[in-house]
Amino acid sequence: MLKYIVRRLLMLIPVLLGVILVVFTLMYITPGDPVDSLLGDNATPEAREALREELGLNGGYFQRFYNYITRLLRGDMGICYATNLNVATRIAQTFPNTVKLATFAVVFAVILGLSFGVISAIKQYSFLDNLVMSVSMIGVSMPSFWCGLLLMLLFCVQLNWLPASGFDSFACVILPGVSLGLNSAASIARMTRSSMLEVIRQDYISTARAKGQSEFRVIMDHALKNALIPVITTVGMQFGLLLGGAVLIESIFSIPGVGKMMVDAIKARNYPIVQGGVLVIALAFCLVNLVVDILYAYVDPRIRSQYK
């Protein structure tokens, strides 16, 4: 198992190199000049040239890529044009907020999705099942920013229960977390249902009932663990996506997260931030996937034996 993890971690190197290359190239060929937004329209050509020299924007593609890579390998991701802070510092400021938000959203989604998925499967074709599946259909198709706005209208404007913006207390996480998690909850519920339905028709479920085991334990001990594999995949995917893709929700609720930082950086052609941000998100995505694969092995002994 340890060998497998080490191998997977080594595989991260080419993946991240690929990500670096693609992002660098994209930013290189994107029209626009960071100097425009830093100095404004009235700057003299001399001042602009001096700034370009200082930021290392002169020189060809290969020259700049070489400079970037060599600095990156020394652990230097560059300086943010807008704040003059180290990129690593900026990410350290914003990334924890995104992680907090995504974690809350995923925990919320798993609790909601898993329980409703299981109930739906046990009571297949019942009124409850139809209700849960209809609601989850809406949940899957509803854009999270729209849902966020509606929740904000209700809980912040009408009822005044929760704060509409900021990120300084736990109450601030609830609304954006819920709006972000609803989508995932719906897809987790649908995945759990179909996976459970497949499992509860298996012979070993009849075996468990034939032993005299209670229906609750049959579902929890025998069925759920077997049904979890595809659900874990979905949860992992969702978490990975949320880590990088909470852009809209972060903007609506003014949360200083990595998504919002990246959008601002792209607008201002703030190259070091974009490159650094994408790198960190890609790394996080890969690590979440690794955790998912390790969880498979934990849940299913058949997969565990393949890793040896």
Partner 1 sequence: MNGDKLLEIKNLTVHYESFDATVHAVENLNLSLRHGETLGLVGETGAGKTTTVKSVMRILPDPPAKIVSGEILFDGQDLLKLSVKEMRKIRGKQISMIFQDPMTSLNPVMTVAEQIAEVIRLHEKCSKKDAHKKACDMLELVGIRPERGSDYPHQFSGGMKQRVVIAMALACNPRFLIADEPTTALDVTIQAQVLELMKRLKAQYQTAMIMITHDLGIVADICDYVAIMYAGEVVEYGTREHIFNHTGHPYTRGLFACIPDIFTDQNELEPINGLTPDPTQLPEGCRFHPRCPHATERCAKEHPENIELAPGHFVACHLANKGGNENA
Rule CB under 8 A: which residues touch partner 1? 125, 201-204, 206-215, 222, 225-226, 299-302, 305
Q: Which is nearer to partner 1, 54 or 203 (CB)?
A: 203
Closest approach of Cβ 128 to partner 1, in Å? Answer: 15
Q: Which is nearer to partner 1, 209 or 267 (CB)?
A: 209
Measure the CA–CA gap between 145 and 232, rounded to whole angstroms: 25
Burial class for 280, CB neighbours closer than 10 Å (0-12, 13-18, 19+): buried
Alpha-helix runs per DSSP H in the chain: 2-29, 34-39, 45-55, 61-73, 87-122, 127-141, 144-152, 170-199, 203-210, 215-217, 225-245, 247-252, 258-267, 271-299, 301-307
Closest approach of Cβ 110 to partner 1, in Å? Answer: 19
Residue 79 has φ and ψ, to the nearest 5°, of -115, 135
Closest approach of Cβ 231 to partner 1, in Å? Answer: 14
Closest approach of Cβ 221 to partner 1, in Å? Answer: 8
Q: Which is nearer to partner 1, 195 or 226 (CB)?
A: 226
Q: Which is nearer to partner 1, 70 or 214 (CB)?
A: 214
Report residue 293 as tokens: 């694969």
Q: Which is nearer to partner 1, 75 or 301 (CB)?
A: 301
Closest approach of Cβ 126 to partner 1, in Å? Answer: 10
**DSSP secondary structure, 94-140, as one string:** HHHHHHHHHHHHHHHHHHHHHHHHHHHHHTTTSHHHHHHHHHHHHHH
Q: Using an 8 Å Cβ cutoff, are 173 and 167 in contact?
A: yes
Closest approach of Cβ 188 to partner 1, in Å? Answer: 20
Q: Which is nearer to partner 1, 35 or 235 (CB)?
A: 235
